[in-house]
């Protein structure tokens, strides 16, 4: 029987200190190992918890503070034109690492032909709602 990605040890429970770019006692930020764009960053609670909805209020607050800090850092380093912020919560939503993590994805003019719809493109047949009007 082949091991699935869900059976592997949690990659977010043992992040090397040199990968941490920002941190708080309850959460940290690191660059994504498979970045979609330059500067793609993950915000991760230190406690192993699969669902954002199971995070404590304090963990959520730490994640949001790091989100703001990471955005300010990316603004200085790369000056992106926009951002996508996302969480995949649960296998049905595409979560493959069962340790909650928030994606901060810098967007750059021209990085895709038509960025309209953003995260709606997880369902391509429903994404271009403006074309039906």
Q: What is the pLDDT of residues 6-65, one digit of tens each?
A: 567 899 999 999 999 999 999 999 999 999 999 999 999 999 999 999 999 999 999 999
CATH code for the domain in which residue 67 is found: 3.30.428.10
Q: Rounded CA gap, 129 and 38, in Å?
A: 28
Give CA–CA dist 71/79, Å, rounded: 10
Is 117 domain-assigned? Answer: no
37 in any annotated domain: yes
Whole-structure pTM value: 0.88
How many distinct structural domains can be found in the chain?
Answer: 1
CA distance 102 to 41: 8
Backbone angles phi, psi at 18, to 5 degrees: -75, -10
Residue 118 lies in a domain: no
Range of the domain at 98: 5-15+23-109
Whether 98 is covered by a domain: the verdict is yes
Tell me, yes or no, whether 116 lies in a domain.
no
């Amino acid at each position: 029987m082949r091991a699935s990605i869900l059976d592997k040890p949690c990659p977010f429970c043992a992040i090397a200190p040199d990968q941490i770019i920002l941190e708080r006692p309850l959460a940290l930020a690191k660059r994504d190992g498979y970045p979609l764009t330059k500067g793609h960053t993950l915000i991760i609670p230190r406690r192993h918890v699969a669902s954002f909805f199971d995070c404590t209020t304090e963990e959520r607050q730490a994640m949001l503070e790091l989100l703001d800090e990471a955005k300010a850092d990316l603004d200085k380093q790369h000056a992106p034109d926009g951002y996508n912020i996302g969480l995949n919560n649960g296998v049905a939503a595409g979560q493959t690492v069962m340790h909650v993590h928030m994606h901060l994805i810098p967007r750059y003019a021209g990085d895709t032909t038509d960025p309209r719809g953003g995260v709606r493109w997880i369902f391509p047949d429903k994404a271009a709602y403006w074309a039906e009007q």
